[in-house]
Chain A
Amino acid sequence: MAECHPVGFQWVMEAKARGATIIHVDPRFTRTSALADLHVPLRVGSDIAFLGGLINYVLSNGLEFREYVTAYTNAGTILREDAADTEDLDGLFSGYDADEHGYDTDTWQYEGTVAAPAGGQRDRPSKRSSKTAAKSETHGSGGPSMRGTPEVDETLQHPRCVFQVLKRHFARYTPEMVAEVCGVPPEQFTKVAEAITRNSGRERTTAFAYAVGWTHHTVGVQYIRTAAILQALLGNIGRPGGGILALRGHASIQGSTDIPTLFNILPGYIPMPHAHEHLDLASFIEADAGTKGYWGNMDAYTVSLLKAWWGDAATEANDWCFDYLPRLTGDHGTYNTVMRQLDQGGGGYFVVGENPAVGSANGGMQRRGLANLDWLVVRDLVMTETATFWLDGPEIATGELRTDDIGTEVFVFPAAAHTEKDGSFTNTQRMLQWHHQAVEPPGDARSELWFYYHLGRIIRDKLAAAGADGGSSADDLDRPVLDLTWDYPTEGPLAEPSAQAVLAEINGFGPDGSPLSAYTQLKADGSTRCGCWIYCGVYADGVNHADRRKPGQDQSWVAPEWGWAWPANRRILYNRASADPEGRPWSERKAYVWWDESQGRWTGHDVPDFAVDKRPDYQAPPDAIGPDAIAGNEPFIMQSDGKAWLWAPAGLVDGPLPAHYEPEESPLRNPLYGQQSNPARETYDRPGNRYHPSDSEPGAEVYPHVLTTYRLTEHHTAGGMSRTLPYLSELQPEPFCEVSPELAATAGLEHGGWATITTSRTAVEARVLVTERLQPLVVAGRTIHQVGLPYHWGTNGLTTGDSANDLIAISLDPNVHIQETKVATCAITAGRRPRGPALLDHVARYRVRAGIDGGDQ
């Protein structure tokens, strides 16, 4: 966190000064470890085993926060008789289809409920389509809908209740197993387990913070699930000082999922409709909206969104223009798009504020994909490697690509920086903070808002003109573009659209045209407009609440008047859980929101995340739906059963519980199960992306070491924002690899010298830092060496060098299609890498030795 989020780390330091214990679990000793009370090095890719060990420690010692667990989680819920766990199937769950490499998730449901299958379709989609169409993400933040009331055993004794299944599932995650899988000695593991459990319960809470070290794995979503189970068992969700905090990789990455840049969700985590299945709004709403909880009102959110986009053109008669929305026909994620570029070629590609030629897994495939396009638009602050791949990319140097042969027409548009435009950042706390333009952007640089507004305006003008001439726009196909509300006021010499007007549209307007103040005002009758339901209220009363900057010392410790946090300016989600089922704080020390009987309402330090006048003893009538179906003691109001899910009956494609699987490339056999890797992971075993043999498979010894990639404080991700700046470049001026003294001795590496790191994809060179910050780990009786490699470099800028991500194969988490960039296997040798075509020969020789060449070039 100190390495990649130094500004946020100030709060960790403040917590430490106030007595918090800081534990850092990371394969490397980093700047975070330097300030932590305890650093626990573990093998890259083994975190589920570590966290699973903590869960087992909690369950086998009876250290869970029992009242919280019984009341607020699905621990007592009874599972179906035909549900089978990894304990029964040696690492698989029930429903696995070996041909499809995916699960039918029906058996994961609760007993006695008719829950929609993953994707929430009335016509149950096949497992295959559920995976390829990315249905796992189509439930929005609340998970899929569920109908019926599940059977619950509040004693948690029923052999098929979630709690008992959980106990059995994690029983094998013993401290000894943690040592074997992670390389963490039992005494060190126990130290962590004791610290966390001692610091959880009524009086105390523990928080977990993570970043892409947890997510960039073929089983990344389940890493977070493991932490979620642990935190739910310890009662650390919805309470001050608790939670699982996702540290984002850039400013406003949270914002870019709320108002998404993702292919499969609409603003506010409303799913993107699927072709053929969602023929009209009614079928879309019915299939995807939960019947209990706040997703029960998805019709109001969706209709208000359609009204915001298509205004008066959206009427009840035309289904609020629901047909204007694009439809999913499969996985349109970035890596599948690259495969289509490689296999089919043609088409255009917008790359905006991103540098996939350096930042994405398997840079070589990324660049070869770019070379296959008709045209490419790059919008960035600087000339990135993605914009110049055709001129000086590594494939030009090896002769794989020739500039003269590349037909891609590249358009580079310089972008305005945040100081050169108005706008908002949404941080990991879901808090929007407004920033004001300080200076005009230089030269041709323009904001994203300017670019898309004027691009849309020009396209609309052209379509309208064509329509007037009786051309193609007589066609209904153009109506979605022509009917858009595209009337943002512009200002200044550059005709910059008003960012505040966009924020007002996102906030939404009521029937009388005045700004809405809460998403509870949204209606499905077309009388309200709202560009993103969870942001409703940010512009209440016509005031930009994101622009509030009242100093901390002038307000309460929750600081509700600094910026604005969605939803409804709540700073902690599910904060009803900070009070006991009767509505009393679990302890005075951790009091946050509570039921005030005299006022007949919820009150406290934060905005209660609960219907403010719903009594703790409220019981929903059997026919209640939506928010009314949530009982007064069910804090998890977005969930379709009001509970925190220890067992996930739906919503995931790779298992209702997390299980440790080895990475795609691993030096080890999975010590926990017969199943080696996540069986549902997405792989592309093809030329240019060959996977290394693992464990004792023939050829595994060719790539004997573990490789991990990461960032340095001094640089920014793929380097576009730092390698061009002298003051940052001089602080980390060259690519380097970090190795332990033991590995250096074994491989003949010299401190300050050069090393070549080779995988089946390519070889890169880097200077060598021999350091005790990396330690060999003894895992399953073997010594495992880990090679650390920052990934910031490329061919452009003041400091140049090979890109670490060129080494990494594309293999993906099946839930979110994120790549496994944090772990691979590799070979490391002393000296610089071969140049030109000799580099290809070098890499091919390794592939042949490993038996994975397959005639690849």
Chain B
Amino acid sequence: MGFFTDTSVCIGCKACEVACKEWNHVPEDGLSLTGMSYDNSVGLGASTWRHVAFIEQPVAPPGPLATPTGAAQPGPGGAEAMSFRWLMESDVCKHCTEAGCLDVCPTGALFRTEFNSVVVQNDICNGCGYCVPACPFGVIGRREEPDHDAAVGLAQKCTLCYDRLRDDLEPACAKACPTESIQFGELAQLRSRARDRVATLQQAGVAGARLYGADPHDGVGGTGAMFLLLDEPEVYGLPPDPQVPTRRLGRLWRQAGLAAGTMAAAAAVAFLGGGRS
């Protein structure tokens, strides 16, 4: 199970951020104005599990308005685009098929659930923080405040509302989204819906429309959260080609082993050679 976030209908209301925090008791994450458009939660982290990015962008001037034909109209960024546009995108943990955080967790605190989501168990996490640099998206973090919070020092991130899923409820963010920008469901279905939506938008002249995270053969083996973007991933602060760092672990170990063997052999040769001399 997972998310399809269609940014072409996101209105930036941040209901997802609030619903996530309400349901999961995620603490407030700082009260300072960033100046980054209307984004004051900056990015995903231990105390922000849904994050809405706001990108103010000049674009080509508009053409004539289309005749109302009953056909789908282009979204923002299309042939009817404004000379200025404001992109909004609600970001979330990708619940990777090959999850770096889970791979490196030494205690087994991170585990894969029956919904194929990746979840931290607070009572097992020892706060080592190995998972933090292992995430190619910078999603997971160690909670640092407030002092009284039980999860301070522990790794924290989106659980795909594991408790809600077990009660047959959709995640809080998807439930709260007023425009169905965040859709929850079975991944194969979401992928097909996402592909249809992209085709519709492209047909309507939204050249920049593309999918992100919908390819099961990407660097993280596909994600449980895919996105319809209207521009390059970098524009939204997303890595263009995420790679799970543990994917090459086997080869690394093999190479390290080979190197060690070679060195041992060289030493032995040197020793033996020395013996000869």
B-binding residues in A (CB < 8 A): 2, 6-7, 9-10, 13, 16-23, 29, 31-39, 191, 194-195, 198-199, 204, 712-714, 726-734, 736, 751-752, 767, 769, 771-773, 798-799
* Closest partner residue, chain B, to A736 (CB atom): B33
Query: Would A191 and B64 count as touching, CB distance under 8 A?
Result: yes
* Closest partner residue, chain A, to B63 (CB atom): A191
A19: B residues at CB distance < 8 A:
68-73
The contact string, 1 if C-beta is below 8 Å from chain A, for chain B 8-50, is 0101111101100110000111111101011011000000000
Query: Would A20 and B73 count as touching, CB distance under 8 A?
Result: yes
Query: Would A194 and B13 count as touching, CB distance under 8 A?
Result: no
Query: Would A34 and B12 count as touching, CB distance under 8 A?
Result: yes
Query: Would B35 and A752 count as touching, CB distance under 8 A?
Result: yes
Query: Would A7 and B88 count as touching, CB distance under 8 A?
Result: no
Known: A6-B11, A191-B65, A773-B86. A727 touches B35 (CB 8 A): no
A727: B residues at CB distance < 8 A:
17-18, 21-22, 28
Give Cα distance in the complex from A35 to B40, angstroms: 21
> B80 interface residue, CB < 8 Å from A?
yes
Known: A13-B179, A730-B31. A37 touches B11 (CB 8 A): no
Which one of B62, B74, B88, B179 has the highest number of Cβ atoms from chain A below 10 Å of its Cβ?
Answer: B179
> B67 interface residue, CB < 8 Å from A?
yes
Q: Which 6 A-B pairs have the closest CB atoms?
A: A726-B28, A6-B13, A34-B86, A752-B35, A733-B31, A2-B11
Give Cα distance in the complex from A35 to B75, angstroms: 7
* Closest partner residue, chain A, to B86 (CB atom): A34
Known: A9-B11, A38-B65, A194-B65. A730 touches B82 (CB 8 A): no
Known: A38-B62, A767-B35, A773-B84. A714 touches B76 (CB 8 A): no
Give Cα distance in the complex from A729 to B21, angstroms: 13
Compute the total of residue contacts between A and B using a CB distance below 8 Å: 132
- The minimal Cβ–Cβ distance linking B51 to chain A, given in whole angstroms, is 11
A35: B residues at CB distance < 8 A:
9, 11, 75-76
- The minimal Cβ–Cβ distance linking A735 to chain B, given in whole angstroms, is 9
Query: Would A729 and B31 count as touching, CB distance under 8 A?
Result: yes
Interface residues in B96-122 (C-beta closer than 8 Å to A): none
The 21 listed contacts between A and B (C-beta, < 8 Å) are A2-B13, A6-B178, A10-B179, A10-B180, A13-B9, A34-B12, A34-B76, A34-B85, A35-B11, A37-B80, A38-B80, A713-B14, A727-B18, A730-B29, A730-B40, A732-B33, A732-B40, A733-B30, A733-B31, A733-B32, A736-B33
Further pairs besides A34-B11, A191-B64, A726-B28: 18, Cβ < 8 Å: A6-B13, A7-B178, A10-B178, A19-B69, A19-B72, A21-B66, A34-B12, A34-B87, A36-B82, A191-B65, A198-B68, A714-B14, A731-B18, A733-B30, A752-B35, A769-B35, A771-B37, A773-B86
B28: A residues at CB distance < 8 A:
726-727, 729-730
Query: Would A21 and B68 count as touching, CB distance under 8 A?
Result: yes
> B196 interface residue, CB < 8 Å from A?
no
B69: A residues at CB distance < 8 A:
19
Query: Would B65 and A37 count as touching, CB distance under 8 A?
Result: yes
Query: Would B38 and A732 count as touching, CB distance under 8 A?
Result: yes
Give Cα distance in the complex from A485 to B64, angstroms: 63
> B241 interface residue, CB < 8 Å from A?
no
> B56 interface residue, CB < 8 Å from A?
yes
Give Cα distance in the complex from A198 to B68, angstroms: 8
> B58 interface residue, CB < 8 Å from A?
yes
A734: B residues at CB distance < 8 A:
31-33
Give Cα distance in the complex from A195 to B62, angstroms: 14
Query: Would A195 and B65 count as touching, CB distance under 8 A?
Result: yes
B32: A residues at CB distance < 8 A:
733-734
- The minimal Cβ–Cβ distance linking A750 to chain B, given in whole angstroms, is 10
* Closest partner residue, chain B, to A19 (CB atom): B70
* Closest partner residue, chain A, to B30 (CB atom): A730
Give Cα distance in the complex from A6 to B16, angstroms: 12
Which one of B33, B40, B72 has the highest number of Cβ atoms from chain A below 10 Å of its Cβ?
Answer: B33
Give Cα distance in the complex from A198 to B180, angstroms: 30
A22: B residues at CB distance < 8 A:
73
Give Cα distance in the complex from A198 to B67, angstroms: 8
Known: A10-B179, A194-B65, A731-B17. A798 touches B71 (CB 8 A): no
A731: B residues at CB distance < 8 A:
14, 17-18, 40-41
B87: A residues at CB distance < 8 A:
34
> Which single member of A9, A20, A712, A713 contacts B68 (CB below 8 Å)?
A20
B72: A residues at CB distance < 8 A:
17-19
Give Cα distance in the complex from A19 to B32, angstroms: 40
A191: B residues at CB distance < 8 A:
64-65
Known: A21-B65, A727-B18. A29 touches B73 (CB 8 A): no
Give Cα distance in the complex from A322 to B231, angstroms: 68
A733: B residues at CB distance < 8 A:
30-33, 40
Known: A29-B86, A31-B13. A21 touches B73 (CB 8 A): yes
> Which single member of B41, B68, B180 contacts A204 (CB below 8 Å)?
B68
- The minimal Cβ–Cβ distance linking A818 to chain B, given in whole angstroms, is 27
Give Cα distance in the complex from A522 to B28, angstroms: 55
* Closest partner residue, chain A, to B20 (CB atom): A727
Which one of A10, A21, A34, A734 has the highest number of Cβ atoms from chain B below 10 Å of its Cβ?
Answer: A34
- The minimal Cβ–Cβ distance linking A704 to chain B, given in whole angstroms, is 25
Give Cα distance in the complex from A730 to B47, angstroms: 12
A726: B residues at CB distance < 8 A:
27-28
- The minimal Cβ–Cβ distance linking B95 to chain A, given in whole angstroms, is 23
* Closest partner residue, chain B, to A775 (CB atom): B84
* Closest partner residue, chain B, to A712 (CB atom): B38
Give Cα distance in the complex from A730 to B12, angstroms: 15
Give Cα distance in the complex from A729 to B72, angstroms: 37
Query: Would B84 and A6 count as touching, CB distance under 8 A?
Result: no
Give Cα distance in the complex from A199 to B70, angstroms: 11
- The minimal Cβ–Cβ distance linking A42 to chain B, given in whole angstroms, is 15
A37: B residues at CB distance < 8 A:
65-66, 73-74, 80
Give Cα distance in the complex from A410 to B156, angstroms: 45
B64: A residues at CB distance < 8 A:
191
B76: A residues at CB distance < 8 A:
34-35
Give Cα distance in the complex from A36 to B81, angstroms: 9
> Which single member of A20, A198, A713 contacts B13 (CB below 8 Å)?
A713
Give Cα distance in the complex from A630 to B73, angstroms: 43
Query: Would A771 and B56 count as touching, CB distance under 8 A?
Result: yes
A9: B residues at CB distance < 8 A:
11, 178-179
Give Cα distance in the complex from A195 to B63, angstroms: 13
Give Cα distance in the complex from A31 to B40, angstroms: 16
B15: A residues at CB distance < 8 A:
6
Give Cα distance in the complex from A520 to B75, angstroms: 48
Query: Would B11 and A13 count as touching, CB distance under 8 A?
Result: yes
* Closest partner residue, chain A, to B9 (CB atom): A13
Give Cα distance in the complex from A664 to B146, angstroms: 49
A18: B residues at CB distance < 8 A:
70, 72
> Which single member of A7, A198, A713, A767 contacts B12 (CB below 8 Å)?
A713
- The minimal Cβ–Cβ distance linking B60 to chain A, given in whole angstroms, is 14
Query: Would A31 and B62 count as touching, CB distance under 8 A?
Result: no
Query: Would A728 and B84 count as touching, CB distance under 8 A?
Result: no
The contact string, 1 if C-beta is below 8 Å from chain A, for chain B 106-143, is 00000000000000000000000000000000000000
- The minimal Cβ–Cβ distance linking B76 to chain A, given in whole angstroms, is 6
Give Cα distance in the complex from A21 to B72, angstroms: 10
B71: A residues at CB distance < 8 A:
19
- The minimal Cβ–Cβ distance linking B37 to chain A, given in whole angstroms, is 7
* Closest partner residue, chain A, to B180 (CB atom): A10
A29: B residues at CB distance < 8 A:
82, 84, 86
B66: A residues at CB distance < 8 A:
21, 37
Interface residues in B137-187 (C-beta closer than 8 Å to A): 178-180
Give Cα distance in the complex from A16 to B181, angstroms: 14
Known: A10-B178, A19-B73, A733-B33. A33 touches B88 (CB 8 A): no
Give Cα distance in the complex from A32 to B66, angstroms: 19
- The minimal Cβ–Cβ distance linking B23 to chain A, given in whole angstroms, is 11
* Closest partner residue, chain B, to A37 (CB atom): B80
